[in-house]
Amino acid sequence: MSIAKTYNPREAEKKWYSYWMEHGFFRSTPDEREPYTIVMPPPNVTGVLHMGHMLNNTIQDVLIRRARMQGKNACWVPGTDHASIATEAKVVAMLKEQGIDKKSLSRETFLEHAWEWKEKYGGIILKQLEKLGASCDWERTKFTMDPDLSEAVIDTFIKFYKEGYIYRGVRMVNWDPQGKTALSDEEVIRKEVNQKLYYVRYQIKDSEEYIIIATTRPETIMADTAICINPNDERFTHLKGQSVIVPLINREIPIIEDEYVDMDFGTGCLKVTPAHDLNDYELGQKHNLEVIDILNDDGSLNEKAQILIGEDRFIARKKVTNLLEEAGQIEKIEDYKSQVGFSERTDAVIEPKLSMQWFCKMDKLAKPALEYVENGTIKLIPEKFFASYKHWMLNVKDWCISRQLWWGQQIPAWYNENNEWVVAKTEQEAITEFNQQGKSSSNLLQEEDVLDTWFSSALWPMSVFDGVRNPDNTEFNYYYPTQDLVTAPEILFFWVARMIIMGHDYTQKPPFKNVYLTGIVRDKMGRKMSKSLGNSPDPIELMEQYGTDGVRVGMLLSSPAGNDLMFDISYCEQGRNFANKIWNAFRLVKGWETTEAPATESQKNAAIWFENRFNQAVSEIDEHFSHYRLSDALMAIYKLIWDDFCSWYLELIKPAYQAPIEKETHETVKVFFEKILTLAHPFMPFLTEELWHDELFKKREEKDCIIVAQYPVVKDFDIRLIKDFEIVQQIISEVRSIRNAKGISPKIELPLAINAAGIDFETHRETIIKLANISTLDLVNEKIQGAVSFLAGKSECFVALEENIDIDAERERITKEIEYLKGFLISVDKKLSNERFIQNAKPEVVQNEKNKKADADTKLKILEGSLLNLS
RNA sequence: GGAGAAUUAGCUCAGCUGGUUCAGAGCAUCUGCCUUACAAGCAGAGGGUCACUGGUUCGAAUCCAGUAUUCUCCACCA
């Protein structure tokens, strides 16, 4: 029988994923065990797996698999998000391709198309997550527009409305002219843009004089309703109370005064356009200015502009500039950099626009959500994000929750024929409500707008367990609050904060205990990986190439929480190589014939050492996990397996070529092997499951799978024993190093003599002989003449080489070491003779220095002896 | 403009409340090995004024201040 020399991930991946599914290992139902719950941040239903998802979901899978193996009732709830704007844009684009204009469709027909699209193309990403090994409870898959989740959203709207958090009003909002909807402040991305600053002349009425203003948006001058100057600005004192003529349209507007105007910026004169700028709007409110909105929903000019009607705002900007120039009204044009808002979803330039919207009052709601994080009920990992969380929470603004879209939850508000409105779940209830208020209830129309998608995502940890509609249900009581949330820092406010707010409002509990914020996946040049840059590898292809386990390991090796991850393909290679290393260790153990003989002493000692070393590693790994240092945990496993298990333990017990191994030892190796597989399983689910089922270990029962095997628990270990073995390892390394330096083949046996101090070398005799390839190992009490010597711990070792040793080289080496030790002693002595040190330092520290001195003294004496011995 | 963070080996990063001569890991590099588990490997080796300048301290990669560079978040200056 032959086993492939390299691990082939493909078969194992296919086989085990469906095996796990068929046997229901991912499924979770409430029982007497401790629950461990993660709700997956729902990707957009339009989404396709990218490196960010890969990282994020791998982390979640590692956490959930480990918890499952620790005997917890692990429940990972997957799902998708309806992503109003993105999805609606996709559907509109698709319809356009078919020659259908959204405007020509009724709301119902459009939604039919949208649902059709969703059923057909939506949720590809969930399928892709399977490839990654995601052990979600797929039967719980939710969509934010599922009927029950939608109902939860509507209920919440009504609840918040009744509690006085939701109101409706005309406000300046962020308008996305491409998506044709309002956006929340959080959905606006500000970018620095190279612009022009236009200096435009406005003629003073009944005068030849001009006033010059600076603007970046000349196309809005038709909407100007005042010019504002600073009352303290002496340059303009004579203009107070005058009015000016708006160029091109010759409308008369007043000159007003307000200290808001920065005298040093531009010309010190500001044109006031209340309809198209937030600050101007506020100025307008203060000074009772007229509001002239010259823009249509799509960003083109309307008839109020009087000129260039129907032109897009950016074309209009150019044309207005030309017209102004022709009219001699442009003083100058300067280059200018400024921040411009873009839509997070469509990337269109945001237009401040005055419109009627629904808002959620945030200040009161935010308070308890801040407290949770402040008092540690919810932990942010890493903590550094607390500062910005706090800042946002303290300065939170009201949340614009209405969107002028169809795809989403339609706001449950109803208008009667007099345009009066009530909030009610159904039309029937609305009628009742109107009647109670003594108002007309005929010709009711439901509010056209839908709710912000984040309004529904905010309920996610509750709504997936139906906890909003039915808070007393068993599942909700069992799984909520959830344990860990793994997500990107970018949506800390969008999502995390709002989940905490809603969770608290409903349950008086936080929705989760820990928030692990992953980094951003960047390319080698530090650029964020994105589709538009084309610098992101396709995770699916990566997994094809390196194996899923390899890519998982690669991603996690380099991603401390909250730090961005500079992704490089070589990490995946490292992951693949690691998988292959385990595979080959398995081949070795698998290939051994056994003999009935009992284990040898050295094998037993090796086993004792590895057991202790293993327990030490388990402690370290546990510690890393408790701080969510997944990459450190993984590295500890990597080293335990590669170095300790393969390079030391296996080499140590390995029988001679084609010789059988003692059965007792073989059994022990197998036990260790199973243990390290369980440690590795959360990171490398496929390989470990594949090996677990090999008959080398045993015939497994149908449900005896590593995915539910017992995860190693923290146990005591003997640090002394491990340290002693380190000395042995050092001796072996030194002998190999001597070989290397002298060009002596590893096949040639060398004699070794040890002047042992403090360690029982008999225990390790066989080990040293075997791994360092020693012919004779003598324990001596004196120095050996003409041998190369070195110090391991406090034991001096001698290798007598057949050819003459290079005395000068040896002398130099030893002298160097002596000098080092002397320097060391000087520094220690300096400390110890410093009274202030003795007085101020902790007693342990002082004692430690004393011990160091004693150690160094011993070593120094040995080395000085060696030096004498050479001459 | 405000806030936060970072700067340690060629690369990616550890280094927790100052205390081994403290400078570490992985990868990469170099040298020697096709030693029958693994060349996706084995053995060995080299490599860093801990960004800079001051300060606190018996003692600083670690604490403080300033400087430089970089990043992130927030913010309405036309």
d(CA A785, CA A799): 10
CA of A746 to C1' of B32 (A): 10
d(CA A373, CA A379): 6
State the nucleotide closest to A819 in CA–C1' terms. Answer: B21
Nearest to A148 by CA among A359, A479, A459: A459
Side-chain-side CA neighbours of A100 within 13 Å: the count stands at 13
Lowest mean pLDDT among A25-29, A566-570, A597-601, A802-806: A802-806
Nearest to A799 by CA among A790, A810, A807, A788: A788
Window 559-588 of chain A: CB closer than 7 A to strand B: 560, 563-566, 568, 570, 573-574, 576-577, 579-581, 584-585, 587-588
CA diameter of chain A:
116
Decide if A81 contacts A144 (C-beta within 8 A): yes
For residue A662, report the phi and psi dihedrals to the nearest 5 degrees.
-60, 135
Residue intervals in chain A for CATH 3.90.740.10: 181-351
CA of A521 to C1' of B55 (A): 39
Residue A39 has pLDDT above 80, yes or no: yes
Three-class SS of A454-474 = HHHHCCHHHHCCCCCCCCCCH
pLDDT in tens, A247-262: 999 999 999 998 888 8
CA of A630 to C1' of B60 (A): 30
d(CA A767, CA A729): 9
Would the Cβ of A827 be found within 7 angstroms of any atom in strand B?
yes
Decide if A17 contacts A133 (C-beta within 8 A): yes
Amino acid at A119: E
CA of A821 to C1' of B47 (A): 23
CA of A248 to C1' of B51 (A): 57
DSSP state of A193: E
SS3 category, A388: helix
Residue A356 has pLDDT above 50, yes or no: yes
Question: In this predicted structure, what is the pLDDT of residue A716?
Answer: 93
- All residues at 6 or more sequence positions from A12 whose CB lies less than 8 Å from its CB, including other chains: A686, A687, A689, A690
CA of A51 to C1' of B26 (A): 22
d(CA A218, CA A224): 10
Nearest to A687 by CA among A546, A542, A539, A555: A546
CB atoms inside a 10 Å sphere around CB A335? 8
Task: State chain A's mean pLDDT as an integer.
Answer: 91
Amino acid at A93: A
* Mean pLDDT, residues A335-358: 88
CA of A743 to C1' of B29 (A): 21
Q: Report the protein residue whose CA lies nearest the C1' of nucleotide B73.
A: A388
Q: Which nucleotides of B are covered by protein (CB under 7 A)?
A: 3-5, 11-14, 19-21, 25-28, 31-33, 35-45, 57-59, 71-78
- All residues at 6 or more sequence positions from A140 whose CB lies less than 8 Å from its CB, including other chains: A28, A75, A77, A78, A79, A464
Residue A562 has pLDDT above 70, yes or no: no
Question: In this predicted structure, what is the pLDDT of residue A401?
Answer: 95
SS3 category, A395: coil
Length of chain A: 871
d(CA A422, CA A446): 10
Would the Cβ of A850 be found within 7 angstroms of any atom in strand B?
no
Would the Cβ of A278 be found within 7 angstroms of any atom in strand B?
yes
d(CA A84, CA A90): 10
The Cα-based distances of A797 to A438, A513, A602, A787 in angstroms read: 102, 55, 21, 9
Query: What is the model's pTM?
Result: 0.94
Question: In this predicted structure, what is the pLDDT of residue A558?
Answer: 79
Would the Cβ of A164 be found within 7 angstroms of any atom in strand B?
no
Amino acid at A496: V
Window 758-797 of chain A: CB closer than 7 A to strand B: none
Question: In this predicted structure, what is the pLDDT of residue A220?
Answer: 93
CA of A192 to C1' of B34 (A): 58
SS3 category, A369: helix
Residue A525 has pLDDT above 80, yes or no: no
Q: Enter the tokens of residue A703.
A: 């449900």
d(CA A121, CA A45): 8
Question: In this predicted structure, what is the pLDDT of residue A76?
Answer: 98
Q: Report the protein residue whose CA lies nearest the C1' of nucleotide B32.
A: A740
Would the Cβ of A730 be found within 7 angstroms of any atom in strand B?
no
Architecture of the domain whose range is A181-351: Alpha-Beta Complex (3.90)
Q: How confident is the model at residue A532 (pLDDT cuts 50, 70, 90)?
A: low
Q: Report the protein residue whose CA lies nearest the C1' of nucleotide B58.
A: A837
Residue A615 has pLDDT above 80, yes or no: yes
Residue A3 has pLDDT above 90, yes or no: no
Nearest to A187 by CA among A439, A378, A455, A394: A455
- All residues at 6 or more sequence positions from A861 whose CB lies less than 8 Å from its CB, including other chains: none
Buried b (16+ CB within 10 A) or exposed e, A135-166: bbbbebbbbbbbeebbbbbbbbbbebbeeebb
Residue A804 has pLDDT above 70, yes or no: no
- All residues at 6 or more sequence positions from A605 whose CB lies less than 8 Å from its CB, including other chains: A763, A764, A767
The Cα-based distances of A67 to A42, A72, A73, A91, A707 in angstroms read: 21, 6, 8, 40, 10
DSSP state of A415: E
State the nucleotide closest to A834 in CA–C1' terms. Answer: B58
Decide if A88 contacts A110 (C-beta within 8 A): no
Helix (H) or strand (E) holding A677: helix A663-680
pLDDT in tens, A745-790: 888 888 999 987 777 888 888 899 999 888 888 888 888 887 888 8
The Cα-based distances of A444 to A111, A417, A505 in angstroms read: 21, 7, 31
State the nucleotide closest to A550 in CA–C1' terms. Answer: B40
Would the Cβ of A216 be found within 7 angstroms of any atom in strand B?
yes
State the nucleotide closest to A740 in CA–C1' terms. Answer: B44
CB atoms inside a 10 Å sphere around CB A209? 14
Higher pLDDT, A520 or A145: A145
pLDDT in tens, A653-688: 999 888 999 999 999 999 999 999 999 999 999 999
Window 411-470 of chain A: CB closer than 7 A to strand B: none
- Predicted interface score ipTM higher than 0.90: yes
d(CA A199, CA A216): 9
Residue A814 has pLDDT above 90, yes or no: no
Would the Cβ of A840 be found within 7 angstroms of any atom in strand B?
yes
Lowest mean pLDDT among A366-375, A551-560, A593-602, A693-702: A551-560
Window 475-534 of chain A: CB closer than 7 A to strand B: 489-490, 493, 526, 528
CA of A183 to C1' of B19 (A): 56
- All residues at 6 or more sequence positions from A583 whose CB lies less than 8 Å from its CB, including other chains: A6, A7, A687, A691
Would the Cβ of A831 be found within 7 angstroms of any atom in strand B?
yes
* Mean pLDDT, residues A486-494: 90
Return the ∠ at Cα A458 (arms to A452 and A464), rounded to 5°.
Answer: 115
Nearest to A317 by CA among A226, A222, A252, A246: A222
- All residues at 6 or more sequence positions from A493 whose CB lies less than 8 Å from its CB, including other chains: A186, A389, A392
Decide if A522 contacts A103 (C-beta within 8 A): no
The Cα-based distances of A299 to A166, A177, A318, A406, A539 in angstroms read: 28, 5, 15, 20, 38
Would the Cβ of A190 be found within 7 angstroms of any atom in strand B?
yes
CA of A620 to C1' of B16 (A): 14
Which residue is it, tokens 């160097």? A816
Question: In this predicted structure, what is the pLDDT of residue A1?
Answer: 47
pLDDT in tens, A71-111: 999 999 999 999 998 899 899 999 999 999 999 999 999 99
Nearest to A81 by CA among A433, A464, A652: A464
Q: Enter the tokens of residue A601.
A: 């002493």
State the nucleotide closest to A570 in CA–C1' terms. Answer: B27
Parallel, antiparallel or unpaired: strands A512-517 and A482-487: parallel
Would the Cβ of A826 be found within 7 angstroms of any atom in strand B?
yes
pLDDT in tens, A386-434: 888 988 898 888 999 999 999 999 999 999 999 999 999 999 999 999 9
Residue A523 has pLDDT above 80, yes or no: no
Q: Report the protein residue whose CA lies nearest the C1' of nucleotide B70.
A: A526
State the nucleotide closest to A213 in CA–C1' terms. Answer: B78
Lowest mean pLDDT among A130-144, A285-299, A633-647, A751-765: A751-765
What is the percent of chain A with per-residue pLDDT over 70, rounded to a whole number?
A: 98
For residue A84, report the phi and psi dihedrals to the nearest 5 degrees.
-35, -65
d(CA A355, CA A369): 30
CA of A152 to C1' of B5 (A): 39
Window 344-373 of chain A: CB closer than 7 A to strand B: none
d(CA A123, CA A43): 8
Tell me which range, A39-48, A598-607, A703-712, is most confidently predicted by mean pLDDT: A703-712
